[in-house]
Chains A and B, each alone.
Chain A
Amino acid sequence: MAHTEWRDAPELPDFSLLKRLARDQLIFLLEQLPGKKDLFIDADLMSPLDRIANVTILKQHEVDKLYKVELKPIVSSSDQLCFLIRPRIQTVKWISDLVNADKVAGRFRRYKIIFTPQKFYACETVLEEQGVYGDVTTDEWNFYILPLDDDILSLELPEFFRDNFLEGDQRWVTTAGSALHLLQSVYGSFSKVYGIGRCAKMVYESWRELMEEGEQRTRQPEFAKVFLVDRDVDFVTPLCSQVVYEGLVDDLFRIKCGSVEFGPDVTSSDKSIKVMLNSQDKVFSEIRNEHFSNVFGFLSQKAKNLQTAYDKRRGMDIQQMKAFVSDELKGLKQEHRLLSLHIGASESMMKKKTKQDFQELLKTEHSLLEGFEIRECITYIEEHINRQVSMIDSLRLLCLLSITENGLLSKDYRSLKAQYLQSYGIKHLLTFANLRQLGLLEEQQAGETLTVMESKVGKLVNDKTVGKLTDAFSSLAKKSNFRALSKRLALVPKSGEEYDLRVPRDMAYVFSGAYIPLSCKLIEQVLERDGWTGLEEVTRMLNGQEFAVTGAPNPRNKTDAQRIVLVMFLGGCTFSEISALRFLGKERDTYYVKQIEYMVNIKLSI
């Protein structure tokens, strides 16, 4: 973890306070329904809830049995049912059906719905329409932020991305605003707010409104600056394969709510083990940000050290032995256990990732990012689809191709789409429609004269020139402009130079030195310039919507807190970005706390 190895790190705010607040409120709500009750919990709230209040605490407050919401008829003998859910219409409908079924059966129960983080009018409408509004009581549990680690906060809203960017439903905007407001009221006001993106702007607005309504408390702030960034500002980064250890763990095993379940192939036993991944885990905290190629060496070194530590006990006398057993052994044992797990994990990564396929996948991604040999890449993608290598990877490559190339040529688009549908079924017609709406996978408009000309020219000259031409043309259209951006911000380091992954030079190390995450680069640039001046061209290419607001006046003395920056990704972020920001933080003597909507890896939408 960055701040153990880095002495000068500013003290981070104590985020466990947030947990305590949430727990107290939940207990209060549970007590509102006195007596024994069964609790139904939304599946995706299970793990966050576990972090806030475990089963013992729930039982203390007269929760009898715990169930997962499965949208199926329930078996419960309790006379009091409590539902802890996200405000989703579907779930509310299911509850209304339950209540109605009980009514028909002549059964009397008490129902209480606790919505978290907030109640939506639409949900109440459903209750009303189903005629059960009077039968249930509803409440809100304002559980906005879950601290996942010392420096990661999460809203745990997996649907944020889909709702906001695809469906144009902005109902989570206020949630994000309230979360910021909560942070501010607990940890003091921020001195400066930056942001880019439509959603970021809306979040800021809603937050500002909350600020104006409530009372202002002035206290020593624990954060200096906030940076809000929309996911759709940078789609490229989440589309690239991750090669940092933590990212890889996520790609392969899915990190959920800060913990991961290692399967039997990792644990080398017949059962899966659930492991918390955070800075408490000493082994993990040292390798999480490392490029994968370094991890194995590191782990073996660690194993050797451990062995020496164990070996110390040889030649000890009784007294020393006693001290050893009581002081060190437990720690060593623990470390040993974790080490063997991580070695297992990296072995299984090795197996999967050092294969030819993965190398080629990376190579293709890198050439797409650099804009070389696009034809070959398309051929590779085609083969990838034809061989049914991986449904998601194929789609990922397609999107990457589309974004870096400002959309696919009609011919390519059709043939690739047709191939994809042949491989995976026609239902993906909808996937394509969704991706198009998001601007992730687009067809260049055949009608545009520019494109026609371009393709004509394309026949005459080689790929590289076409790329240049495309650049020229695309700056006229409103497309993603990745190439131009990349040039402008120097996102892709010059190829040909050797990149030593052991001693990272810049943030590009998180993608094997091939690409600096756009989002992180933006953050770096803006903080360096203390605003958007000088980045006008960049913001124009990102469709504008940038802002920088000075908030509470800076306290005169420069405290530790002034170096802490809160970065909020609206729509999720990847572990690679987190690693990159940690790297940046170390270099720039600032500290980044990330707040994210949800860890995204790649999102599919059907």
Chain B
Amino acid sequence: MAFVTANWNPLGDAFYRKIELYEMGWNLKDGLRDCLVAAAPYGGPIALLKAHNRRSPSARPQLEIFSSSGLPLASFPWKSGVVKQLGWTVSDDLLCVQEDGTVLVYDLLGGFKRHFSMGNEVSQSQVLETKIFHSPYGTGVAILTGALRFTLATNIDDIKLRRLPEVPDLQGAPSCWAVLTQDRQSKVLVANGSHLFVLDNTACTPVTPPGLSPQASSIVHMCVSFSYKYLALLTDSGLVWMGTSNLKFVLLLFSCRCRRPKSQQPSAVVMWDGLLLVVGECKETIQYHLDDDSILVPELDGVRIISGTHHELLQEVPGACEEIFKIASMAPGALLLEAHKEYEKESQKADEYLREIKEQSLLSEAVRQCVEAAGHEHEPETQKTLLRAASFGKCFLSNFPPEQFVSMCRDLRVLNAVRDYTVGIPLSLTQFKQMTIQVLIDRLVYRKLYPLAIEVCCYLKTPEYQGVSRVLKHWACYKVQQKEESDEVIAKAVSVKLADAAGISYSEIATKAYESGRTELAIKLLEFEPRSGEQVPLLLKMKKSPLALSKAIESGDTDLVYTVVMYLKNELNRGDFFMMLRNQPVALSLYKQFCKHQEQDTLKDLFNQDDDHEELGNFYVKASYKEQRLEARIAHLQSAVDEYYKAKKEFSAKTTEDEMRLLRFQRKLEEEKGEQLVGFSLHDTMTTLLSVGLHKHVEQLYKDFRVPDKRFWWLRLKALAEKEDWEELEKFSKSKKSPIGYLPFVEVCIKHHNKYEARKYVSKVTLEQKVKAHLAVGDVEGAAEAAIERRNESEIGTVLSRCAATTDHLLVERLNRAKATVAKK
């Protein structure tokens, strides 16, 4: 306890401390000398690649991956081209940038994932230097090519290559450069001698850092802080310049001699061969001697120093810790800690200390400080002491919210677990909060530490969906790749483990199985998938199309069926495709729907194959309406007729034949008489002909098309009335007994306001319709007469309603009487 401050060094107002994280478990022969090293932030893995030996290019260097504690995770001989740079992505994948601009992606356990290229230009002019950077958009790669141009991809998962503008007067490689992320875009900061430029998508802008005289000297190193907020420059005259990364404010100018900086917060760490220098705002420095070749890994709240033997964290002492442990601190937290210590010793001093805090009513503050400080301490013992003190203090407080304490205990438990030597993720609390629990679980999963991940999930009570289920899914995905076990065993193991976990997507697991070449296993796994919609895409990929189709139909999701149908259409030859559809009516009707708009001809083929002659006939009839030319129309109709006959639809065939005849007839008349006729229905044709007085032709149509008498009479009647040819109408009415009765005659006359003519036909109307006829011509008396004669109650009623009570007084009476008599009967 007393030694907590032993590794503290003051720098201005603050303290810095260097904590040993691990003694490295690796056994490196030459230390880190001549190695390409990449260590992932947030306590991620470390990749090592021995530098290429130019002299013996055939020698294959070993690529090794270690955990932060130096435990080997993977190791394999490097067989591809010359690697320029190693780097890690945000999701713990290793990027190896080769000389020709190809980037190879490996997972943390050395499994090859994929590769991509940084473009032709890069591969032609070769990679000179590379930087891998992280931004809110993911992991990016920036490359300086042999042609001294920069190419940049902001997110390697969605590669969009951007070629940045040229830097003026650049003769050789720039002395140093760095990638910045500002204003939602990535920029490159380049130093060429004493000139500094910012390159963004469109322009190259020269900049001058304030306070750094331009002619001073050339900038040899630059570094950007983890948060992209600060920038440090180092000139060849040994001047360190620190400022905000937008180059607007200067924080510090410091003169020294050094070679390699890494910058942090408002303080910079400068390292050269045997000396590490921390430079703060206040122009003071702390020096550490390094025994070994080391690399620096910037973190959110410090710098990790990795050497051949040790792994250390250098950070500013967090406020809470400083308050409590600073020598002779009188902060409430410090007093509480002291009080607890005395209490353990069973000394009454405990009370004195407590009283002191309580007098200032700072007890809750004290508890809070202890809890917070515990979070920032690495030693479990120290953590415990602090937490005990906090819990001791809590006893004297009522209403102190317990959440902070409880969650801190939980978090620390998790952190200590992952910091364990065997796991090797040295996360600080700040980093953990920034990274979130989900990401931590992912990291554990990447390392295949499934049991630990599940424990963590359960312990932190993460919702099953995001927690346990997810881990189990990853486990299953890994499980199915194990080649040595048989399909049955694996399928069973997976289903047993995953049985009661919610939200498991078996299709994803099956996909993995398929990718590792185990189709049979994949199908078995798919059987467990409850949502048939999820099964389909994979089944298609595995070329199990019939199964996919039936699953898609089962799912009831039409869209899915479409997906399969369209896939099959491109995959199979036409015959097979149609055959398959034939067995699946739903799919067939969907495809027909599609064809109707997209491929008329296919539709025809479909009907043809099914021998659906009736549909074919309909198809032709429809097609005929799209044709402008009469010949084409008739040709289509003829095909329709043939099809209808084949379908034994004589009726449709006959009607279609009639239509062809009609069309020809219309055409002929059109040519002869100049009347617009083609396309009219038979009825309309006759109406038109009648209106222009071509009675002979109408007669011909009447005979040819066996028009029913009734229709013919209606037609004539209407046409004559339309022309108000009353004489002809009368003649017509007498020509034969009317098949439609004579009431229509009356009505049609009334419609044309000719009561006189209408009356002529009233007498001819049948008895049943007499009343109506009389009423139609406005002859109420006649109607009354007829109604009474017919002794029909409802008819009398109708007439009554038409009588005006005042004028037809007598009539009303008579009707009422008649009604009464009828009713009596």
Q: Which residues of A are interface residues toward B (Cβ below 8 A)?
A: 89-90, 93, 118, 120-122, 125-126, 129, 163, 167-171, 173-174, 202, 205-206, 209, 212-213, 356, 382-383, 386-388, 414, 417-419, 421-427, 429-430, 433
* A429 touching B594, Cβ below 8 Å: no
Least CB distance from B590 to A in Å reads 6
A90, A129, A202, A421: most-surrounded residue (chain B CB, <10 A): A421
Q: Which of B21-29, B340-348, B539-547, B676-684 faces chain A?
A: B676-684
B558 partner, pick from A170, A212, A417, A424, beta carbons under 8 A: A170
Q: Given A170-B586, A386-B708, A433-B618, check contact A426 B655 (CB 8 Å).
A: yes
- With CB as the reference atom, state the residue of chain B lying closest to A163: B593
| Chain B residues with CB below 8 A from A383, complex form | 710, 714, 740
| Residues A430 and B592 in contact in the complex (CB < 8 Å), given A418-B655, A421-B655 | no
Q: How far is the CB of B770 from chain A (nearest CB, A)?
A: 15
- Interface set of B (CB-CB < 8 Å, partner A): 530-531, 556-560, 562-563, 566, 585-586, 589-590, 592-594, 597-598, 614, 618, 621-622, 625, 651-652, 655-656, 658-659, 679-684, 705, 707-708, 710-711, 714, 718, 740, 772
B463, closest chain A residue (CB): A215
User: How many Cβ-Cβ contacts under 8 Å join chain A to chain B?
Assistant: 113
A206-B557, A433-B614 given; A427·B586 CB < 8 A: no
Check A206–B598 contact: CB distance below 8 A. Answer: no
Given A169-B558, A205-B556, A427-B621, the answer on whether A422 and B683 have CB atoms closer than 8 Å is yes
Instruction: Specify which chain A residues have a CB less than 8 angstroms from the CB of B618 in the assembled complex.
Output: 429-430, 433
CB pair A126–B598 under 8 Å, yes or no, is yes
Q: A169-B589, A386-B711, A425-B684 are in contact. List 12 more A-B contacts (CB 8 A).
A: A169-B593, A170-B586, A171-B590, A202-B556, A356-B772, A386-B714, A387-B718, A418-B651, A423-B681, A426-B656, A429-B655, A430-B622
Does the CB pair B592–A386 fall under 8 Å?
Answer: no
- Partner of A168 from B589, B625, B681 at Cβ < 8 Å: B589
In whole Å, how far is A553's beta carbon from the nearest beta carbon of chain B? 21
Query: Closest Cβ of chain A: how far from B303's Cβ, in Å?
Result: 41
A173 contact from B556, B652, B684, Cβ within 8 A: B556
**A–B complex contacts, Cβ < 8 Å, 12 sampled:** A120-B558, A121-B566, A122-B590, A167-B589, A174-B559, A383-B740, A422-B705, A423-B681, A426-B655, A426-B681, A430-B621, A433-B614
Distance of A212 Cα from B530 Cα, bound (Å): 10
A90 CA to B597 CA in the complex, in Å? 6
Question: Which residues of the partner chain B approach A425 to less than 8 Å between Cβ atoms?
Answer: 679-681, 684
CA A122 to CA B593, docked complex, whole Å? 10
Query: Which residues of A lie under 8 Å from residue B593 when comparing CB positions?
Result: 89, 163, 167, 169
Give the residue among B530, B681, B740 with the most A Cβ atoms within 10 A.
Answer: B681
CB-CB < 8 A to A126: which residues of B? 598
CA of A167 to CA of B598 in the docked complex: distance in angstroms?
16
Point out the residues of chain B lying under 8 angstroms from A414, CB to CB.
651
Q: Are B656 and A121 in touch, CB under 8 angstroms?
A: no
With the chains together, A126 CA to B560 CA distance in Å?
15
User: Out of A120, A173, A422, which one reaches B562, CB within 8 Å?
Assistant: A120
User: In the assembly, what is the distance between CA of A357 and CA of B736, in Å?
Assistant: 26
Contact A426 B659, CB 8 Å, known A168-B586, A169-B593:
yes
| Cβ A213 vs Cβ B597 within 8 A | no
Contacting residues, chain A, for B590 (C-beta < 8 A): 122, 169, 171
Bound CA span A202–B554, Å: 11
CA distance A15 to B751 in the complex (A): 51
Query: Which residues of chain B have C-beta atoms less than 8 A from A417's C-beta?
Result: 651
Residue on A with the closest CB to B558? A171
- Chain A residues within 8 Å of B563, by CB: 121
- Chain A residue numbers with a CB within 8 Å of B559 are 118, 120-122, 171, 174
* A89 touching B586 in the complex, CB below 8 Å, given contacts A122-B566, A429-B618, A429-B621: no
Cross-chain contact B710 with A429 (CB below 8 angstroms): no
Q: Is the CB of B682 within 8 A of A170?
A: no
B530: A residues at CB distance < 8 A: 212
Task: Judge whether B681 and A122 touch: CB under 8 Å.
Answer: no
B710 pairs with A382, CB closer than 8 A: yes
What CA separation (Å) do A202 and B614 show in the bound complex?
A: 30
A residues in contact with B562, CB < 8 Å: 120-122, 125, 171
Q: Is the CB of B708 within 8 A of A419?
A: yes
Chain B CB count within 10 A is highest, among A90, A419, A429, for A429
Give the complex CA separation of A126 and B594 in angstroms. 10
A393 to B598, CA, bound (A): 34
Give Cα A221 to B788, complex, Å: 65
Report which of B598, B656, B681 forms a contact with A422, defined as CB distance below 8 A: B681
* B330–chain A nearest beta-carbon distance, Å: 52
When distances are taken between beta carbons in the complex, the residues of chain B under 8 Å from A422 are 681-683, 705, 707, 711
A433 to B644 alpha-carbon distance, docked (Å): 12
Provide the bound-state CA to CA distance between A430 and B679, in Å: 16
State in angstroms the CA–CA spacing of A426 and B637 once bound together: 10
B529 vs chain A, min Cβ distance (A): 13
Shortest CB distance A569–B (Å) = 20
Q: Name which of B558, B621, B625 has the most chain A CB atoms within 10 A of its CB.
A: B558
A419 to B278, CA, bound (A): 102
Task: Please tell me which one of the listed residues A89, A121, A424, A429 contacts residue B683 in the complex, with CB atoms under 8 A apart.
Answer: A424
Nearest B residue to A128, CB-CB:
B566
Q: Which residue of A lies closest to B683 (CB)?
A: A423
Measured between beta carbons, the chain A residues less than 8 angstroms from B585 are 168
Residues in chain B near residue A129, CB distance under 8 A: 598
Which residues of A sit under 8 angstroms from B651, Cβ to Cβ? Answer: 414, 417-418
Closest residue of chain B to A171 (Cβ to Cβ) is B558
**Residue in A closest to B589 when the chains form the complex, CB atoms:** A168
A418–B652 Cα distance when bound, in Å, is 9
In Å, the complex CA distance between A443 and B707 comes to 22
Q: What CA separation (Å) do A422 and B593 show in the bound complex?
A: 30
Contact B683 A388 (CB under 8 A): yes
Among A89, A205, A418, A422, the most chain B Cβ lie within 10 Å of the Cβ of A422
Residue of B nearest to A413 (CB): B651
Contact of A427 among B592, B625, B740 (CB under 8 A): B625
Report Cα–Cα, A455/B75, bound state, in Å: 91
Within the complex, the shortest CB–CB distance from A69 to chain B, in Å, comes to 15
CA distance A426 to B707 in the complex (A): 15
Q: Which residue of B lies closest to A168 (CB)?
A: B589
Residues of B within 8 A of A419 (CB): 708, 711
| Residues from chain B with Cβ under 8 Å of A121 in the complex | 559-560, 562-563, 566
Q: Write the chain B residue with the least CB distance to A426.
A: B659
Residues of A within 8 Å of B680, CB to CB, are 425
A175 nearest in chain B by CB position: B558
Partner of B557, one of A89, A122, A174, A427: A174
Smallest Cβ-Cβ distance to B744: which chain A residue? A387
CB distance from B619 to the nearest CB of A (A): 9
Q: With A206-B556, A422-B682 as known contacts, state yes or no: A386 contacts B710, CB within 8 Å.
A: yes
B contact residues around A388 at 8 Å (CB): 683
Contacts of B679 in A (CB 8 A): 425
A93 near B598 with CB under 8 A, answer yes
CB distance from A92 to the nearest CB of B (A): 9
Contact of B656 among A120, A174, A429 (CB under 8 A): A429
- Sort A-B residue pairs by CB-CB distance and give the 9 closest, nearest first: A171-B558, A425-B681, A168-B589, A89-B597, A426-B659, A386-B711, A422-B682, A121-B562, A423-B683
Chain B residue contacts of A423, Cβ below 8 A: 681-683, 711
Query: What is the distance, in angstroms, from B801's C-beta to the closest C-beta of chain A?
Result: 12
Closest B residue, CB atoms, query A428: B681
Complex Cα–Cα for A336 and B558 (A): 51
Q: Do A174 and B655 touch (CB < 8 A)? A: no
When chains A and B are docked, how far (Å) is the Cα of A121 from the Cα of B562? 6
Which of A120, A169, A206, A419 gathers most chain B CB within 10 Å?
A169
Give the docked Cα–Cα distance between A357 and B530 (Å): 59
Nearest-CB distance from A337 to chain B (Å)?
34
Give the distance in Å from the alpha carbon of A356 to the alpha carbon of B748 in the complex. Answer: 13
Known A-B contacts A167-B589, A421-B681, A433-B618; the reply to A122 vs B711 at CB < 8 A is no
Q: How far is the CB of A390 from chain B (nearest CB, A)?
A: 13
Q: Cα distance A17–B544 when bound, in Å? A: 45
